[in-house]
Structure 1
Amino acid sequence: MTVTTQHIAKRPRDIAHCVSAYLQEGDLEGIASMFHPECVIFFPPDQPPKTGIEGVREGFKEMLDIRPTINSQVISEVTTGDTAMLRAKWSVVAPDGSVIAEGESTEVAKKLKNGGWGYLIDCPYGPPVITD
């Protein structure tokens, strides 16, 4: 798919909005551009974490057919230099208005080469629990 619009998160709290826009456009590469190349994603929570841009593509490819909206209300954002930590209440809503998923997330964001922000660590349901 050709990217017709480039969304850049000017602030860490804007990342989810950009991901949602790309998701609604059906642009998997656009979604991947909102993540740091060395990212780790803890979703789905019952599976091992996904890593890197290939992990992002794997995690989001099934959602492209649905084209849901991600609603994110950032409740905390702490930034130091090119790194930020966020907490948010979020939901993924199907076009018919039904809620597909929701939760409270913790994320670490990092400045990207394009000058915008992207997720480095994405924990949609909060940080994973230590099991050992």
Structure 2
Amino acid sequence: MARVQSALHPWVAYGIMPLFALANAGVSLSGVSIAATEPLWITAGIAVALCVGKPLGVFTISWLAVRLGLCRLPEGVTWPWVMLIGLLAGIGFTMSIFIAMLAFSDESHVGAAKIGVLIGSFAAGLLGLAWGFVLAARVRG
């Protein structure tokens, strides 16, 4: 039983669960067009915010909290690892889509925001994965 569970874990954790979350997030891209300038800017802004803004925010606030003496990094954790956490923070798309649905009343803007969230989350995941490989290679020596 444990062997089956171990064999299925990667498929469930990295494939089935994200697809389930995406399906339950209510993501429908029917009628979405980013041909107009305004929806294109919405898409780009949200994607950049998830890939750059979240990592920068997590890193900056963590650095500031440590610098002010409010906390300290756990033993063995360095600033590159904090940046990894920031990069991975950009993946969370369900709350971003929920907020986009509250923020925009125009359906084309909501659709553009959903596309931006999906692109940004995917890119943040890839950046986090790449940075994680770099950090793991450093640890291995």
TM-score computed with the length of structure 2 as normaliser: 0.24
| Relative contact order, higher structure (CA 8 A, sep 6+) | 2
TM-score computed with the length of structure 1 as normaliser: 0.25
Whose strand proportion is higher, 1 or 2? 1
